[in-house]
């Protein structure tokens, strides 16, 4: 069984490729299907050089129940595949703390960047996206081979200053930037289509003429990237930033 969480689609994209390669079933972490499989995988994005709060909640639930599949922290062989735009810091350590056990294997997969809420951060160019998608195909194949052989391995793009990013910057990021209070919708652009509400993985948006956030945001930015009129922004920082649509990007770079 592979449990996944995905906001903008990158992690689901990887999870599907991995499931196909392994002949495994997929289940969202938001509505997990119980399993007693001996091999369990977790696929999710890295947020702020750590793990999304929804993933941490899922991991703690596994930790709180008797060992074995969904009755514990993941069967006899537990692995994680974490997607990130550039680097992941020590996100695997944060996950292990929540799980209450050591991962048997851990991997990172570079995917197109979606975080745009700070100066200097923007979506990747089509050229960079093409390179990442190409490497993803090879990378997932190699990950699947490791899992089939039950290898104890870590192949992770920690990046520079990894400890500082995870244990110094991440707490500040979570305290001050993991919030929906800066999200707003431009009423002159918003057409109340409800796309943001439909795609929010945690049900944090209600559209009442314009979107209204309900204060339990997980920080995935699905609402921002999904808006067809760029009506949604995070403060003023994202007003001139790009948007990422996985299917549209794949179609463009494959032309």
Mean pLDDT of the chain, nearest integer:
93
Q: At what angle do helices 126-148 and 10-22 cross, to 10 degrees?
A: 40
pLDDT in tens, 156-190: 999 999 999 999 999 999 999 999 999 999 999 99
Digit-coded pLDDT (tens) for 98-107: 999 999 999 9
Confidence tier at 255 by pLDDT (50, 70, 90): low
* Res 65 pLDDT > 80: no
Per DSSP (E only), the strands in the chain are: 2-4, 26-28, 39-45, 77-84, 105-110, 153-155, 183-185, 205-208, 210-213, 232-234
Give CA–CA dist 143/133, Å, rounded.
Answer: 15
C-alpha 225/C-alpha 213 separation (Å) is 15
Residue 72 scores a pLDDT above 60: no
CB 116 within 8 A of CB 122: yes
* Domain 183-253 is found in CATH 3.30.70.20: yes
In whole angstroms, give the CA distance from residue 208 to residue 192: 8
C-alpha dist (Å) from residue 157 to 37, 135, 143: 28, 13, 14
Does the pLDDT at position 66 exceed 60? no
Sorted by where each begins, the domain ranges of the chain are 2-172, 183-253
Q: For 2-172, CATH number?
A: 3.40.50.360
């Amino acid at each position: 069984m592979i449990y996944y969480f995905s906001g903008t689609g990158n992690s689901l994209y990887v999870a599907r490729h991995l499931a196909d390669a392994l002949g495994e079933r997929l289940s969202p972490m938001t509505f997990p299907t119980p399993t007693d499989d001996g091999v369990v995988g977790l696929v999710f994005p890295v947020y702020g050089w750590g793990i999304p709060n929804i993933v941490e909640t899922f991991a703690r639930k596994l930790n709180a129940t008797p060992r074995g599949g969904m009755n514990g922290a993941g069967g006899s062989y537990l692995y994680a595949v974490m997607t990130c735009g550039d680097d992941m810091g020590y996100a695997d350590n944060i996950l292990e703390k929540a799980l209450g056990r050591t991962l048997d294997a851990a991997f990172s997969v570079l995917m197109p960047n979606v975080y745009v809420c700070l100066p200097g951060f923007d979506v990747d160019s089509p050229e960079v996206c093409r390179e990442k998608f190409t490497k993803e195909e090879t990378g997932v194949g190699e990950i699947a081979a490791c899992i089939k052989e039950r290898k104890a391995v870590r192949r992770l793009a920690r990046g520079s200053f990894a400890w500082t990013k995870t244990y110094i910057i991440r707490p500040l990021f979570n305290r001050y930037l993991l919030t929906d209070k800066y999200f707003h919708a431009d009423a002159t652009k918003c057409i109340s289509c409800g796309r943001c509400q439909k795609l929010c993985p945690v049900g944090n948006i209600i559209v009442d003429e314009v979107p209204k956030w309900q204060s339990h945001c997980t920080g995935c930015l699905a609402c921002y990237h999904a808006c067809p009129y760029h009506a949604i922004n995070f403060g003023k920082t994202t007003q001139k930033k790009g948007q990422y649509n996985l299917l549209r990007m794949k179609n463009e770079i494959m032309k």
